[in-house]
Structure 1
Amino acid sequence: MRLRTDIFVSALMRRVFARGDFAAVEEKGAEEAGAVFVRQVFRDGSETLYAPAPQSFFDAEESGQRLFETRLSGVDAAAVSAAIDRERRFDSDLWVVTVETDDLGDLIDFGAAEPKDDGFFRR
């Protein structure tokens, strides 16, 4: 059984604050089953957007785990906002959590191995 979205977001925020970083809920969606997008803001002003990974490809539904994939990496804020606006056209119940940190560490789980830093992806 999957954890309610509002509880997942609350736990994510507490973990971010416990590390000494900052997080804010930018958009609040459906409390029970809204999709969560994580907007990572770096010190240089660039951003990375993490979106829900296709859950049908993983056993996440059985374990209740939320998995993410990198949608955009190291882009400007306008590009991330535009991507979120496009997603909102399909799902008006989505959540957007902004996290200001240079390293996500173990804050979220990824559906597949995240790419190494090869100059294109930034973590």
Structure 2
Amino acid sequence: MPRLTTEFWVEAYLRRLRLADIAHYLIRRGDAQAGAVMVKLATLDGRAMAWERAYDPASGGRRWITLAEGEEALVDAALARARARDPDLWLIEIEDRQGRSLLEEEGLSGD
């Protein structure tokens, strides 16, 4: 089965966020075919969390792993370091007091 492009996956994810009425922003557009994806969730109380989509050797697919969690400034610093290392990175930011990212939903949790 052919793999989805990163751009296609990101567009589908942004559409799901819109349909759930969750505020979100595409902060950085990466490589359309195979760029890495990171998602930041700001809960609007000074705290945030960031995840990156990584290869899972056990399943052969992808899964979300926590990149950083805590004070929003520290999460932003971790994301800035990641952006400096990878020019092909996609970055999506979510603002949701309830802490919803939808990343656990079917079709978003991995590939």
Check whether TM > 0.5.
yes
Query: Any idea what the Cα deviations from partners look like across 1:73-92, whole Å, max 9, x if unmatched?
Result: 2x222212211222223321
Residue 100 of structure 2: aligned partner: 103
The residue matched to 1:54 in structure 2 has which SS?
A: strand
> TM (normalized to structure 2)?
0.81
Residue 73 of structure 2: aligned partner: 78
Which structure has the highest strand share of the two?
2
How much does 1:59 deviate?
A: 1.8
Structure 1 ranges of 4+ moved more than 3 A = 54-57
Q: Percent same amino acid among aligned pairs?
A: 28
Query: Any idea what the Cα deviations from partners look like across 1:31-70, whole Å, max 9, x if unmatched?
Result: 111000000111313110001223334321xxxxx42111
Residue 14 of structure 1: aligned partner: 15
Identify which range, 98-107 or 86-95, moves more after superposition.
Answer: 98-107
The residue matched to 1:58 in structure 2 has which SS?
A: coil
- CA RMSD in angstroms comes to 2.1
Residue 45 of structure 1: aligned partner: 46
> TM (normalized to structure 1)?
0.74
Stretches of structure 2 that go unaligned for 5 or more consecutive residues are none
Stretches of structure 1 that go unaligned for 5 or more consecutive residues are 61-65, 111-123
